[in-house]
Amino acid sequence: MSENSNFPGWHGTTIVGVRKNGKVVIAGDGQVSLGNTVIKGSARKVRRISPGGHDVVCGFAGSTADAFTLLERLEAKLEASPGQLARASVELAKDWRTDKYLKNLEAMLIVTDGKDLFIITGAGDVLEPENDIAAVGSGGNFALAAARALMDSDRDAEAIARRALEIAAEICVFTNGNMIVESIDA
């Protein structure tokens, strides 16, 4: 993390991705916090991009402007390598870690094309999560634990992601229940 990692806006948001029965869902809350103050309660932190006609669903935690910059870069990588999310994610992570400008960006991404599910970080990581669940943000661990507990239930991916985010919102003061949910089939 950069020297600005103590900036009060760094912590906030919960994003969870769940893959189950051929479907991947990414859900995110809508709260934007600056320190202990809620600035906005209905931000859209989960988005669908379609570079080269291939749908990819992305969720982000951290600085919104930084995340948008990273999403634009990911979209460009996907246009250069259509349908190759793993390759584009690795290329983005390499750039993010080594580029003088990008390495100061403070955000984390969860991305999926329905087949792959990755967490991308500024440390150069492209992680394929265990147990088909990915979570980032201040309430990420709460959502991760809740989703893991629900995976053996009869609930589908969307129901698990929604309930996991609801549970995180009940625990984490930087997470609210205003959800944006996007799904994609394998």
Confirm whether 69 is a catalytic residue.
no
- Judge contact between 118 and 89, C-beta under 8 A: yes
Residue 127 CA: distances (Å) to CA of 123, 134, 135, 163:
11, 9, 11, 23
In whole angstroms, what is the distance from residue 12 CA to residue 124 CA? Answer: 21
> 120: which 2 tokens?
């991308």
Confirm if 29 and 169 have CB atoms less than 8 A apart: yes
Distance of CA 185 to the CA centre of its chain: 17
Q: Could you say which of 13, 14, 64, 175 is catalytic?
A: 13
Which residues are designated catalytic?
13
